[in-house]
Structures are given as structure tokens and as C-alpha cells.
Copies of this chain bind each other. A is one copy, B any other.
Amino acid sequence: MPATRPNLRQIADSLGLSVTTVSRALKDGPEVHPKTVARVKEAAAAAGYVPNLRGLALRTGRTHAITAVLPLEARAYLSDIARLPLIEGMTVAARARGYTLAIQSPLPEEDPLEALRKIVHLGASDGVVITRMTEEDRRVAWLEQNGVPFATFGRSAGASLHAYVDIDNHRIAREAAAHLAAAGHRRIALQLLSGTDVSSADRLEGYRAALATAGLAADPALVGRDDFSLEASQTSFARMLDEADPPTALICASELGLLGAIAALRQRGLVPGTDVALIARDNTRLCGYLSLPVLAHRVDMALAGETLVAALAGRIETPAAPPLRTVIAPGPLEAAG
């Protein structure tokens, strides 16, 4: 920015020292006389000196910024309410570690790898957090090949090696389906994302595992894949409800999905949560204030964001250390509120 800010040269000139000595003094270099260190630090503080990140970045290659590639336009990814604590968690954790968080929202029509390549080549950050992982994510391979520090939200297939934070989607869906089966439900519907997200695959697996354990058949017609707008969700559930053997329980995948399900039920004169059991994706505040008997797991998205940044910071600062891999356990399945 155009603000004329003090730089090393000005401080050096004002003290009759060289730029080199001032630079070293400010980072307590052992070669600088203690008295000089004190003088320099005093002058720097008086002048309000802050090291210029642009020069620093060019010289050292470190920008002290991290970039999160997080779709914000697409309503399909993460519920509205789950997104904010994730961003908050990342921002706060980044700041606490001396980083700035930059958010890049990829355009839906862009090739994810190409978009990522551009972001990395800009060289404006020390590492990236990527989201919306697919099974064989080409981005992971590319990042690894190019030695770019990264952490992913959600595992990818080759997840044995890289830093990631994941929600235990398998367990969440499994517990949800198991609970419903134990309550006597035989026709349990599951809502998934429309893409090839790993999270959806995990949820589907967990759901099937629970059904198998309960001795129930898995009916593909009961697995909805819509893109999680309220309307799409409503349509999707409505179709299931209008079939010959409709579901008596729904496992939703976002609060928009939940609201869509409620709309579809009300449209048919059914009482949500009573006539048809409902399990929400996250136990968000919204669920609690629906005044409906809805169950949900509480998932700490802020913690997920913080852990993501911690994992990325680890890759940046100690590349030799093993990557941090975390699966966030959900809280117990409980009455939403």
C-alpha cells in the first residue's frame, strides 16, 4: 500500500549503521554487539518498523500466508452454517501461528487442478488447504510432486501419507442408521452429495455396514444424490416418499437437506420427526430451534479448521516431520438443540 513505511535502510541511516547490521540486530544475531542490538531495537520501535512482507517473501520464499481453497459459491459443499466455524477456526489458528489466511473460492467451471496450479504458482502463500477431496485426487499427486506444503479437509485415496483432517463420516452414518434400525425402521433413506466426494463414499459405506449388521437390505432407491439446495433436497425426498414402499426415516446431509426433507413431509401432511424419523447432518443451532424431534451428531467444525491449519503449519515449518493426520470424532447421537 502507498503508505510510506519505515524500512531497514532508513533505520540504518538514522543510526549510522549498515542495513545488514540492523537486519541482524532485529533478529538478535549473535554477531551484533548487545548495545547495538538495544539501540537498533529502540529505533525500530520508535519508527514503528514492521518488516515488509514483500521483500521478505522474495528473499526468503516465505510469505507467512496460507491459502484455503474453499468453494463459497457452491451451495453444494458444506452447509452454510458449518462453513463459518471452519473459516473461523482456520483464521484464528492461522493468526495465532503468525500466518494470514487467504480464501480462494474456485469457480465451478474451473478445472480444480488447473486452478490450484495457478494459485500455487502465484507464490503468494506458504501452503494450501484444499477441500472437496475425491477418491483419486489429482491435486494431491501434483502437490506432492512439486513439494508444496498442503493439508486436505477430508482424506483422499492415497491418504496414508499426506496431512489431512477428516470428519468420521463413516461412523456418523453408521451410528445414525444403526440407531434407526434399532428403533424398528426398515426403510431408511440416506442423502449424499452429488459428486464423488470421499465424505459421501464414507457415509454410504457406514450406512450400508449398519444396515448389514441389522439384517436389512440396502435399497439403492433410498440413497439420494442431490446437490443440496433446499429445493433439490425437497424434490429428491418427495420422490422417495411417493414410491410404493416409502422410507420411514431420513438421514440428512446438511441443514438445507433437513429443511428440504421437512418441506417434502409437510407437503404430504406428514409430521416431520414423528411420522418419519429425521437425523440431521450436524447438530447446528438451527436444528435445535426447529422444535422437532430431530437427532444429530455434534461436529466441531471450528476444531477441524484449527487442526487443518496446525497440520499445514507443520508441513511448512518441519517438512521432515510426519504429516499430521486427524479424524475428528463426532459427539454422541443426541437430540438436536
Q: Is the CB of B105 within 8 A of A91?
A: yes
- Of B83, B121, B126, B289, which is within 8 A of A289 by CB? B289
- The dominant DSSP class at the A interface is mixed
Restricting to A281-295, which residues have a CB under 8 Å from any CB of B?
Answer: 285-286, 289-291
- Chain A: interface size category: 35 or more
Q: Is the CB of B120 within 8 A of A1?
A: yes
Whether A73 sits at the interface, judged by CB under 8 Å, is: yes
Q: Is the CB of A61 within 8 A of B117?
A: no
By a CB distance below 8 angstroms, the chain B residues around A123 are 1, 5, 52-54
**Contact segment of A31-39, A145-153, A240-248:** A145-153
Identical subunits present: 2
Known: A1-B149, A84-B80, A121-B3. A58 touches B48 (CB 8 A): no
Whether A87 sits at the interface, judged by CB under 8 Å, is: yes
Q: Is the CB of A127 within 8 A of B1?
A: yes
Whether A81 sits at the interface, judged by CB under 8 Å, is: yes
Whether A25 sits at the interface, judged by CB under 8 Å, is: no
Q: Is the CB of B3 within 8 A of A146?
A: yes
Whether A125 sits at the interface, judged by CB under 8 Å, is: yes
**Contact segment of A96-104, A169-177, A204-212:** A96-104
Q: Is the CB of A95 within 8 A of B105?
A: yes
Interface string of A285-310 (1 = CB under 8 A from B): 11001110000000000000000000
In the complex, how many angstroms separate the beta carbon of A53 from the nearest chain B beta carbon?
A: 5
Q: Is the CB of B146 within 8 A of A102?
A: no
By a CB distance below 8 angstroms, the chain B residues around A231 are none
Q: Which residue of B lies closest to A117 (CB)?
A: B48
Which residues of A are interface residues toward B (Cβ below 8 A)?
A: 1-5, 48-55, 57-58, 61, 63, 65, 67, 72-73, 80-81, 83-84, 87-88, 91-92, 95, 100-105, 107, 117-118, 120-128, 146-149, 259, 262, 285-286, 289-291
